[in-house]
Amino acid sequence: MIKLEFKNVSYRHDNREVLHNLSVQFAAGDYVSIVGSSGSGKSTFLRLCCHLISPSEGNIFLNGQDMLLQNPIELRKKVSYCFQEPILWGTTVEDNVTFPYQIRNQKLDISKVTSLLSDFHMTPDYLHHEIQNLSGGEKQRIALIRTMLFEPEILLLDEVTSALDAENTELVEKAILNLNQQGITILWVTHNDEQSRKYANKLLTIEDGQIQSLEVIK
Partner 1 sequence: MKGANISNTSLLLASSLVLVSLLFSYFQKLKLEKETIISVIRAVVQLFVVGYILQFIFGLHNPVVTTLIILAMTFNASYNAAKRGKEIKNGIWISFISIFVGSGITLTVLILSGAIKYEAYQMIPISGMLISNAMIAIGLCYRQLAANFKSRRNEVEVKLSLGADIHMSSIGILRDSIRTGMLPTIDSTKTLGIVSLPGMMTGLILAGTSPVMAIRYQIMVTFMMLSTTAISSFMACFLSYRGFFNDRKQLI
Site for partner 1 (CB under 8 A): which residue of 100, 189, 200, 204? 100
Spatial separation of the C-alpha atoms in residues 203 and 24, rounded to whole Å: 12
Binding mask 28-67 for partner 1 (x = CB under 8 A): ----------------------xxxxx-------------
- Which of helix, strand or coil describes residue 48? helix
Least separation in angstroms between residue 91's CB and partner 1 is 12
Q: Which of 195, 213, 196 lies closest to 204, judged by CA?
A: 213
Radius of gyration, alpha carbons of the chain = 17
DSSP-assigned beta bridge partners for residue 130:
92
Residue 147 or 190: the one with the smaller Cβ distance to partner 1 is 147
Residue numbers 172-211 binding partner 1 by CB under 8 A: none
Q: How far is the CB of 60 from partner 1 (least distance, A)?
A: 12
Rounded to an integer, what distance in angstroms lies between the CA atom of residue 90 and that of residue 56? 35
* Interaction residues for partner 1, span 118-177 (CB under 8 A): 143, 146-147, 150
Evaluated on CA atoms 142, 146, 149, 154, the torsion sign reads: negative
Nearer to partner 1, 147 or 196 (CB): 147
* Residue 102 touching partner 1 (CB under 8 A): yes
Nearest to 57 by CA among 24, 18, 21: 21
> Closer CB to partner 1, residue 39 or residue 72?
72
Run of H or E including 95: helix 93-102
Residues in the site for partner 1, rule: CB under 8 A?
50-54, 68, 72-74, 76-77, 80-81, 83, 85, 87, 89, 99-100, 102-104, 143, 146-147, 150
